[in-house]
Structure 1
Amino acid sequence: MKKRELGKSGLYVSELALGTMSFPDNEVEAKKIVDTAIHAGINFFDTANIYAGSKNEKIVGNALKEHRENIVLATKVGNKLNADGEGWTWDPTKRHITEEVKHSLHRLGTDYIDLYQLHGGTMEDNIDETIDAFESLKKEGLIRQYGISSIRPNVIKRFLEESTAVSVMMQYSPLDRRPEEWIPLISRSGASIITRGTLAKGYLTMEGQKRANASDGFALYHTADLKQIVNTLNEEVDDLHAASIAFALQNKTVASALVGARTTTQLLDSIVAYEKGCSTDQMDNLKNLTAMHRYTEHLI
């Protein structure tokens, strides 16, 4: 599997990354998924401190233990779980970030995090304090690099301008092309994009039509529009799963396309799709059939 550099970080990540949010609670099954990924050449794994009430980090850490030196491990911070375990609150303060990294390191069973990501952000945040927290953790050697996971253009722009962030994780797929307007800005900053929602909640897989029929819409597609576009794409694009992964990776500002998996079968489907790729004609067809929407909020 090919690798690309994450920003100018010196970290080289596989073009296909594994998002672990939907991992099973069963550690044996989770390890099977991880081992399948490793065998296929995936070296980039992403989790977050709040996934599964913080249990996900522990499951991921245990599954990756024997591979730690050969993989790039990413997690996120900024959302703080409530004491009752129901929901979370936003806390981008230096105090929270510098405390929470210790908990993540413990759960992951590692001495350092390769990529630590701010899990959201608002324009009301004290951005200087937040960035100072990440820079301090870099100096301590607890993290190697940091980035942001957000779909708010104004938050992303300010974070990149004020920091040495190497990555932006954002929802991007043929069904959500809003980031395209902002790719040049991210590229000029020297950062890379990590796409999440690469398969648009499964609408761009073999199960897409079934899921669309039971959906109430996605991104800026309303229910009826979503059903129509998913049906059209399945009729006009040879392998929608393969084309969607290739779509995410067509721009070199994208370092890695993140896919999730609850089972080894789901992961293998994405690996096969990645390896299959997509012809230029099919890519052009995919682009012509989908709308290039733009963000309408969080612009200033």
Structure 2
Amino acid sequence: MHHIHLRDLDVSRIGLGAMGMSQAYTGAGTDEAESIRTVHRALELGVSFIDTAEIYGPYTNEELLGRALKGRRDQVVLATKFGLVSHEGDGPGNQDSSPANIRTAVEGSLARLGTDHIDLYYQHRVDPNVPIEETAGAVGELIAEGKVRAFGLSEAGPDTIRRANAVTPVSAVQSEYSLFTRDPEARVLPALRELGIGFVPFSPLGRGFLTGTIRSTEGFDKDDFRRDNPRFTGDNFQHNLRLADEVKEVAAEAGATPAQVAIAWLLAQGDDIAPIPGTKRVTRLEENAAADALRLTPTQLDRLTNLPPAAGATHTKAQMKMMER
């Protein structure tokens, strides 16, 4: 597995998103043993960058990783997130990036993860009620105390990134980025490259669309969040299926799977990008990790880059309001 740097953090250039092991997707939380096997197999394959958050569950995903990484903590660059649980206020799902809340959040995450430090600590969403300078300063104090190694932001815009970075160096920004979601290219990626900040794409497989295996939403559990996602409904779904079929055609030509092609396209966008495809299954983990060795031709890359835009917003209206896009 090749490695890249997110500022000073050395990470495998393909990571593992752990959220789906505990929530949001069909089958989440039903097979802890397989989830733990997936984490262990990731480490065996050199996937050393794992992503979670306190809100996932809430809390249960961090607890799962704490069990999975027991005795293996030194093999992984571990990222988690704060800011979507108000510990002294209204609880999970409510933004709070105040310094006091961050203090409470980090202690909880450290305990659940079974570690004395977090390698990359992200603000999960920009809090409109707390100046980013205060949030960045609070994380800077945690870095000085050794509880956190590096500071990250998620779904932040260029102005917020610059202001935060002026207080505490930002090592990585995490945003949705894939063949289906190209938003960061216009504003965020240029700013990150100017400032020397790494980029971590989440949902690099379009929440499963780009694997080529989804033909219908009928098999989704009732609490699968894709049931309400605009990209999976009505005419949008049919449009996006056609795009996924074009990716499948490139994959057949490349002798790879559609998921591998989608990840390889992302990796070709720069040596400062570390996508975190999520899975709870060993077989999918192995498939995704193998994309590290796939090199697409210039013609294949151009065909993928020039695909028409996906139809539908990436999130519901309420969720979009928390993103600086």
Structure 1 length normalisation: TM-score? 0.87
Aligned length: 297
Query: How far apart are residue 83 of structure 1 and its match?
Result: 9.3
Q: Which amino acid aligns with 2:241?
A: K
Query: How far apart are residue 213 of structure 1 and its match?
Result: 11
Query: How far apart are residue 150 of structure 1 and its match?
Result: 1.1
Q: Which amino acid aligns with 1:241?
A: A
> Which residue matches 1:171?
176
Cα offsets for 1:26-60 (capped at 9, x unmatched) = 44222211111011111111100111120110110
Query: How far apart are residue 209 of structure 1 and its match?
Result: 3.9
> Which residue matches 2:281?
263
Bigger mean CA deviation after superposition, 102-111 or 283-292: 283-292
SS at match of 2:275: strand
Q: How does 1:150-229 map to 2 (within 5 A)?
A: 150=155, 152-181=157-186, 182-210=188-216, 217-218=230-231, 222-229=236-243
SS at match of 1:65: coil
Please, which runs of 5 or more residues in structure 2 have no aligned partner?
22-27, 221-226, 315-319
Identity %: 29
Bigger mean CA deviation after superposition, 194-203 or 288-297: 288-297
Query: How far apart are residue 134 of structure 1 and its match?
Result: 0.3
Quote the Cα distance in structure 2 between the aligned partners of 1:50 and 1:158. Answer: 25
Distance 1:89 1:123, change over 3 A: closer
Quote the Cα distance in structure 1 between the aligned partners of 2:90 and 2:45. Answer: 36
Q: How does 1:1-300 map to 2 (within 5 A)?
A: 1-7=1-7, 9=8, 11-23=9-21, 25=29, 26-80=31-85, 87-150=92-155, 152-181=157-186, 182-210=188-216, 217-218=230-231, 222-238=236-252, 239-252=257-270, 254-291=272-309
SS at match of 2:135: helix
SS at match of 1:222: helix
Quote the Cα distance in structure 1 between the aligned partners of 2:190 and 2:71. Answer: 38
Cα offsets for 1:49-105 (capped at 9, x unmatched) = 111120110110111122111210110000116899985210010000011100100
Quote the Cα distance in structure 2 between the aligned partners of 1:149 and 1:74. Answer: 12
Bigger mean CA deviation after superposition, 246-255 or 40-49: 246-255
Please, which runs of 5 or more residues in structure 1 have no aligned partner?
none
- Tell me if structure 2 keeps the 8 A contact 1:18–1:261: yes
Query: How far apart are residue 154 of structure 1 and its match?
Result: 4.6
Structure 2 length normalisation: TM-score? 0.81
Distance 1:51 1:233, change over 3 A: same
| CA RMSD, 1 decimal | 3.1
- Tell me if structure 1 keeps the 8 A contact 2:43–2:75: no
SS at match of 1:187: helix
SS at match of 2:170: coil
Quote the Cα distance in structure 1 between the aligned partners of 2:271 and 2:164. Answer: 17
- Tell me if structure 1 keeps the 8 A contact 2:83–2:127: no
Query: How far apart are residue 253 of structure 1 and its match?
Result: 5.3
Quote the Cα distance in structure 2 between the aligned partners of 1:37 and 1:124. Answer: 38
